[in-house]
Amino acid sequence: MRCSTPLILVLLLVFLAPVLAENARSPLIRLPEKEDIDAHLMAYHQRGNPDRQREVLDGFLTRVRELNLAPNTIEEGKSRRKIVLFDLDNTLFDVDFKNLVILFEYCVNLPQVERACTQKPEQPDCALLPQKKDFCGRAAPLQLRHIGYSLTETLTNLKLSLDPRSALFLDLDQHCNFWFFQGKYCEYDRPYLGAAEFVSELHDKAGATVVYLTGRRKVFFFHATKQALDHGGFPVPAIDFEEFDPHALAMPEMKNKFREQRVFLIMKGEAETGDHKLTNPMLERIQAEGEIVGGFENEPEIASTWANTYPDGQFFLIKTKARHPNAELDARVHLIHSYLR
């Protein structure tokens, strides 16, 4: 039996009508357009002093280049690395778009939850459904400018009040934390303005060894983070040397490959606790072949600790979002608002 085109359309409309009506009733957070994201990133840059920023970033590039040309760079016939450390989240990558998408998906999935609860109302999600729908209705105005470092900060910026002990807040917080730490959302990482160009110039022209040092857990993030770096235009490591045991790394061929590589991605291990940006075996191995000459961070405490630990280096705090934005900052740390020059 053959169905005519009009009949097929009628059948599709009959089938989709309940879904379309349900989605029409469901208030949704609007995802930003590309121009919205570009304007959001430009806003960071405009908060700073562009002339001063150009001066300190160009000065750092020149300094690293000169250090690589200095006589003491060559030791026993081998090049001594000039190492620059880069955090990722809120330092090279803006993660506000990622956080907005995660909140968007919390709300956009409610029609499916509602249909499931109609069939099986005893499911755990069903008791909170009315509160979730109410929250998503009130959160509909959410934009990138509302996104904070934490869920509490985001809700405050949106002028929404939720008791942090309430079942709804805990459910929302669990959703946001779980999905933020899943690699599939790395596709929503957006480089800060000028970041990829600056890191590439530091690597390609100034001769620096670039070390991405991040709290992202390797088991969830490694391949997705490499892909995000590549898509963003950053230098990407060819070999993951953390995969090799010390015996393998001691082999002449591996030692040569290690010495030749000038990009590394160091992530947290599955069971690792504490801040590995300060003590890390792979970083120590890299540092054994050179010196840390600078670093870029969004957390004042870490930038200050680096400045104290490596007093001959130059360190930078990018003023984006931080867990403790008002923490005391070492006077030697330079402030920047983007990487545009």
| pLDDT, tens only, 36-94 | 999 999 999 999 999 999 999 999 999 999 999 887 655 554 568 999 999 999 999 99
Which runs of E-coded beta strand occur in the chain? Answer: 74-75, 78-79, 81-86, 93-94, 190-191, 209-217, 263-268, 290-297, 314-318, 334-336
Q: What per-residue confidence (pLDDT) applies to 9?
A: 41
What pTM did the predictor assign?
A: 0.87
Q: What per-residue confidence (pLDDT) applies to 1?
A: 46
Q: What per-residue confidence (pLDDT) applies to 279?
A: 64
Q: What per-residue confidence (pLDDT) applies to 241?
A: 87
In a domain, 59, yes or no: yes
Both 201 and 278 in one domain: the answer is: yes
In a domain, 106, yes or no: yes
Q: Measure the CA–CA gap between 130 and 149, rounded to whole angstroms.
A: 27
- Which residue segment(s) compose the domain that 141 sits in? 96-186
Both 84 and 101 in one domain: the answer is: no
Q: Is 173 in contact with 92 (CB distance < 8 Å)?
A: no
Q: Is 300 in contact with 254 (CB distance < 8 Å)?
A: no
Q: What per-residue confidence (pLDDT) applies to 278?
A: 61
Which runs of E-coded beta strand occur in 142-271? Answer: 190-191, 209-217, 263-268
In a domain, 7, yes or no: no
Nearest 5°: CA angle at 244, between 232 and 218? 40
Q: Measure the CA–CA gap between 158 and 83, rounded to whole angstroms.
A: 41
In a domain, 29, yes or no: no
Split at pLDDT 50, 70, 90, the class of 110 is: very high
In a domain, 226, yes or no: yes
> For 183-229, what is each residue's pLDDT tens digit?
989 999 999 999 999 999 999 999 999 999 998 888 888 999 999 99
> Which of 186, 220, 240 is a domain's end point?
186
Cα–Cα nearest to 105, from 166, 184, 35, 216: 184
